[in-house]
Amino acid sequence: MAELKLYGFDGSTYVRTVKMLLAEKEFTAFDQDPVNVLKGEPHAPEHLQRHPFGKVPVIEYRGFRVYETAAIARYLNSMITGRDLVPAEAENVARMDMAIGIIDSYGYPAMLGGVAAYHLFPDFVGGKDEAKHHEALKTTRTVLTELMRLRGKGPWIAGEDLSLADLYLAPVFAYVAQTPHADEFNDIPGFADWWGAAQQLESFRATKPKS
């Protein structure tokens, strides 16, 4: 039996964040139960016992259950040996935490719910809403502009080294990159370089959802 059980399907950006973390740690001793959001499976009684709000991912590691991606990522980063994905410097930790908060609160709803969903899975969000789509594009630009401003001079969001913040943003923007708006944000200072580097990460390539 594997040390770690991961609940959630590969189409979830948050599941991909966790799998990227595991890949960066070179940790392979896990099993995955592909609880599918698009099929409503997170609201099945057995999953609601794992996550009372019907979300993914959830992990169980050595008998301890954790849900909510921010908690999962911090926990696994601490528990599993290998590359540390939390910066050492307080200022860069703050950059990382601010970026994760921005992505959770503003980036994910805009990029997934307003941009990607409009083009890729409109039926799942109740159809195409032109006003919501237009507003989401504006918010996406604001989010990416601010994340690149927070980045400062380093190649990654929280400085010189890859951090959890990058593992949050890359899977979310990957959906935007599948839409006609893929190149629309390349004029944001620093973004094209960051996105180019993110796509070259082996953890990003290895966790690409199968179509």
pLDDT per residue of the chain (211 residues) written in tens, 0 to 9:
689 999 999 999 999 999 999 999 999 999 999 999 989 999 999 999 999 999 999 999 999 999 999 999 999 999 999 999 999 999 999 999 999 999 999 999 999 999 999 999 998 888 999 999 999 999 999 999 999 999 878 899 999 999 999 999 999 999 999 999 999 999 999 999 999 999 999 999 999 998 6
Residue of 12, 18, 24, 8 lying closest to 85 (CA atoms): 24
**Quick check: bond before 57 cis, omega within 30?**
yes
Which residues contact residue 69 at a Cβ distance below 8 angstroms, ignoring those fewer than 6 apart?
Answer: 14, 17, 18, 57, 168
58 φ/ψ angles, rounded to the nearest 5 degrees: -130, 145
Single-letter amino acid code for the residue at 208 = K
| pTM beyond 0.75 | yes
Contact 11, 172 (CB under 8 A): no
